Homo-oligomer: A and B are copies of this chain.
């Protein structure tokens, strides 16, 4: 595996899940694989779960890890040719990326949506540059539009806790005070479409996800209807993806608190498990009752981030050979 950004990069999903459970049973099993290999983790944005779980995953595999925090504001890379660089950009990406790559074997990059331009965000400008110019395997540690390590961990969690062969999984929008990227819902939709689940998305009108991720998934604007008989509720806020109105991209169109996931909605589910990628704002996204209930999976789901990252790094290490 040379790039990890999509569910497609994993190939056969059943095999990937089997590998995940093998690693979960003995997370140090492939410790020799990473000997004398170095993972460079580049954070253009803050990180808690991803930072810790990916470091842990690399160490599980016996890798060396170098963490590099880059202030997205301060590190201004020139990206065009022909520019006289007499301003505030002190380095060109055509030098910076190959140089960073020369000191490591595998690169992870976190770089959020900036909301300055839908086109730049959805073109994944920064990650694409790393893929194109680093010459090394690159995995996405949440980019402008996707968060595949999260979705893989979510899938592992659903596989662990499902009580029927083909559970009903509902992705629901929920209110939040700030404008958040679409990376988590995009990837979750993409991964659920690929998994053996009955997948439904519910959100207020105007929050339609990008077709490249949501595909033909069933969209239901009535949250209560969507929740009926659900086995897993996956809550998440996102700002307007700008699919129908590009000028609304990144805007908060609604703070409708009736979408906050509470007992009322959970009551119509099939005693569903509750999931969220964290961090979560309680009583905006979900009530205390629901997130603290025995059916809440938010902690095991976060713990599975170590497992998804270990599988991804393992596969990248194997491809280096």
A contact residues vs B (CB 8 Å cutoff) = 28, 31, 36, 38, 40, 48-49, 51-53, 55-56, 59-60, 64, 66, 68, 78, 81-87, 90-92, 94-96, 98-100, 102-104, 177, 278-284, 288, 291-292, 298-299, 302-303, 305-306
Contacts and interface: CB of A to CB of B under 8 A. Distances in A.
A103 B288 contact: no
B66 A99 contact: no
Contact of A279 (B51, B60, B96): B96
Q: How many copies does the complex hold?
A: 3
A66 B38 CA distance: 16
A56 B90 contact: no
A280 B104 contact: no
B303 A102 contact: yes
Main secondary structure of the interface of A (DSSP, over half): mixed
Contacts of A281: 85-86, 90-91
28 contacts: A31-B36, A38-B56, A38-B59, A48-B96, A51-B68, A52-B66, A52-B68, A53-B103, A55-B66, A56-B64, A59-B64, A78-B282, A82-B283, A84-B282, A84-B283, A85-B282, A86-B177, A86-B284, A87-B177, A90-B279, A95-B278, A95-B279, A98-B299, A99-B278, A99-B302, A99-B303, A102-B299, A102-B303
B52 A306 contact: no
A40 to B, nearest CB: 7
Given A78-B282, A82-B288, A92-B280, 10 more contacts: A48-B96, A56-B104, A85-B281, A85-B283, A91-B279, A95-B278, A95-B280, A95-B302, A98-B299, A102-B299
B306 A91 contact: no
Contacts of A81: 282, 288
A34 to B, nearest CB: 12
A84 B283 CA distance: 5
Nearest to A278: B95
Contacts of A280: 91-92, 95
A36 B96 CA distance: 33
B103 A52 contact: yes
Contacts of A66: 52, 55-56
Contacts of A96: 48, 279
B28 A36 contact: yes
Given A55-B66, A85-B282, A282-B83, A95 B298 contact: yes
Contacts of A177: 86-87
Given A28-B36, A52-B68, A52-B100, A283 B95 contact: no
Contacts of A104: 52, 56
A240 B66 CA distance: 36
Nearest to A82: B288
